[in-house]
A and B are shown apart, each in its own frame.
Chain A
C-alpha cells in the first residue's frame, strides 16, 4: 500500500471544503494515523479475490419509461439559497 503522506490541500480542493491551516495540520495528522491503521489491509492476500461493490445480487432492476408526478416549482425554489425568478442563482462560475 502507498505510504505517501496525504496531500491534504489537493484532497480538500477535490472535496471542495475550505480548510484552515489548523485543520490542515490536525486532519493531516488524523488521516495519516487512519491510513497507518488501514494499511493493515496489505497483509491480506487479495490477489485473486473479486471486489465486492454491493452485497445484493440483483440484476437489471429498471423502471418502465412512464411519466410520474414531480415536485412543484414554487415549493422547491422556496428552499433555494438564492433564486432569481424561476431559476436557481449561483455566483459566477470560473471556467476551469
Chain B
C-alpha cells in the first residue's frame, strides 16, 4: 500500500460536486483517483463484484463536458457504487448470485439513471447478499466483502458492498436497497448514514426484486447532506413503476436543521436497550440525551407489536420472493443446468444457481402461499402488518420522530451467525419500519469494542418519521450529526494502512 491516500476522494459527495461544478476539479480526475484507490484497496475489502473502469471514465468525461456546456449537476463527478441488484445497461448485474453471474443488463434502473443524469460516475457494481437476502453480505455467491474498520468482520448486509465501498473511500456514495434493514444495518456497521426513504419514493424499476412490497432503494453516504443530495436527485414518481408515488418531492438537502427545537422525539419503551449490553445501552442513552440537548422534547412511545415484526417479515418477504425469483428458470437468460426434460432443467438450474439462504426463503415462501396454508400464514402476516403500521400511527400521534437502535450489535465476525434465525433477528429494529413503509435512517452515534474485538466498531442510531417525513428525518439527522461528529472519530483501517 504505497499509494498515498488521495485528498480528492476523501471529500464528501457534496464537496466533490461543488468542486467539479466550479471546475476546481474535473470529474475525470476524481474518477481516476477513485479507480486507483479501488485498485489498491479492493483486493482487501472486496466491495465490488465488477469495477466499471471504462464506463466510469466515459461517464466522467461526459460530466466534464456537460459542466463545460454550462449544466449545473447536483452530483457532478461523484463516484458512485451501485449495489449489484440494480440494472445498469450493458454491465454485468449479478445480484451476488451464480444464477445471474454472467448476465448483462439490457437496460438501466430508473434510480441509477437519475443519479447518472445528475452527474454521478458509476465506479462499480457492489457486492451484496444473494438477491439482497441477508444481513452480513456473507450470502453472496460471488465474493467476500470485509468491513473497512476491521477486516475480520462483516460489513453488514445486504448492501454490504455499497457500504464498504463508501466507508473505504472507493466511492463517495453507495446505492443500496433496503427490504428489512439492508441499507440501515450496513450503514450502522460501516460508520455511514444509511437511508431508506418512504416505500414508493424511489422507483424500483430495474431493481431486481426481492420482496416487492418492501424493497426500497436508498443511499449510503458519509454525511447526511450527501444522503439528502442523492435522495433529491432520485426520488419521485416513475411511470415505469406504478408503486412509485405521484407526489411532489420536497428537496431535503436545502432544508437540513441545525437544532431540534420544537421536535418531539419518541423513545420506544418496547425497545429496551439494556438488553444490548452495558456499552451499547450507554451509547443509546447518551444519543437520546444529545437529541434532547439539541432542543428536542423526548416522549415515551410504545410499539406493542414490535416483537411480531420479524415473524411477519419472514412470511411476507419470502412469499413475495418465492414468486419474484421464479423467473430464474434457465429459459431466457442466466444460468442453465441441463436436464432430460424442461422440468428437470428447472430443478437442476435452480438447485445449482441459488445459494442456501435463497433456497430457504423460496421454500418457506412457497409453503406460506401453498394450498391450505395461505390464510394461516400469509394472510395472517398481512394482518399483523396492518397492526404494526397502526402502532406507528398511534406513536406518531405523540411524536414527530422516533429514535431507536439501528442494530442489536456492532459488526460481527465472519461465520458468527450460523443459525438462520439468529441472523434474521439482526433486523429486529429495522423490520417494523419496513413493514409500515416508513422512511428511516441510521446515523453514526458512537463506537463500541465488541467482545474479543481488536478495535472499536461503529454504532448506529436509527431515526424514523411518518410516511413522507424525509425532510424532517434528514434535517434532524443532520442536526444530530453536526452536534456529535461521531463518524469522524476514527478512520477505516484500509485508509490508515495507506496513509
Contact A17 B338 (CB under 8 A): no
Q: Is A67's beta carbon under 8 Å from chain B?
A: no
- Is A23 an interface position by the 8 A CB rule? yes
- Could you say which of B133-141, B150-158, B379-387, B402-410 contacts chain A? B379-387
Partner of B370, one of A14, A76, A82: A14
A1-59 residues at the B interface, CB under 8 angstroms: 1-2, 6, 8, 10-12, 14-19, 23, 27, 30-31, 33-35, 37-42, 44, 46, 49-56, 58
Question: With A12-B363, A55-B389, A56-B243 given, is the CB distance from A79 to B333 under 8 Å?
Answer: yes
Q: Are B350 and A18 in contact (CB under 8 A)?
A: yes
Interface string of B329-350 (1 = CB under 8 A from A): 1111111101111111111101
Of residues 47 to 96 in A, which have CB atoms within 8 Å of B's CB atoms? 49-56, 58, 61-63, 71, 75-76, 79-82, 88, 90-94
Closest chain A CB from B46 CB (angstroms): 26
- B245 at the binding interface (Cβ < 8 Å): yes
Known: A2-B376, A34-B421, A56-B199. A49 touches B346 (CB 8 A): no
A-B contact count (CB 8 A): 177
* Chain B, interface residues (CB within 8 Å), range: 35 or more
Q: Report which of B107, B199, B329, B384 forms a contact with A55, defined as CB distance below 8 A.
A: B199
CA distance A54 to B382 in the complex (A): 9
Query: Which residues of B205-254 are within 8 A (CB) of A?
Result: 213, 239, 242-243, 245-246
Q: Are A41 and B312 in contact (CB under 8 A)?
A: yes
Of B335, B359, B373, B383, which contacts A23 at CB under 8 A? B359
| Least Cβ–Cβ distance between B130 and chain A, in angstroms | 14
Binary contact readout B319-333 vs A (1 if CB under 8 angstroms, 0 otherwise) = 000100010011111
Q: Say yes or no: A53 contacts B242, CB within 8 Å.
A: no
Interface centre among A6, A11, A39 (most CB of B within 10 A): A11
The one of A30, A38, A40, A81 that contacts B330, using a Cβ cutoff of 8 Å: A81
A75 to B367: give the CA distance in the assembly, Å: 37
Q: Would you give the shortest CB distance from B192 to chain A, in whole angstroms?
A: 26
A46-B380, A88-B332 known, 10 other contacts, Cβ within 8 Å = A6-B363, A17-B347, A38-B312, A41-B315, A44-B387, A52-B389, A63-B239, A81-B332, A81-B334, A81-B335
Interface residues of B (CB under 8 A from A): 103-104, 106-107, 199-200, 213, 239, 242-243, 245-246, 305, 307-308, 310-312, 314-315, 322, 326, 329-336, 338-348, 350-351, 354, 356, 359-360, 362-364, 366-367, 370, 372-373, 376-377, 379-387, 389, 420-421, 424, 436-437, 467
User: Could you list 11 examples of A-B contacts with CB < 8 Å?
Assistant: A17-B363, A18-B350, A31-B367, A34-B314, A37-B310, A41-B308, A44-B380, A71-B107, A91-B344, A92-B341, A93-B342
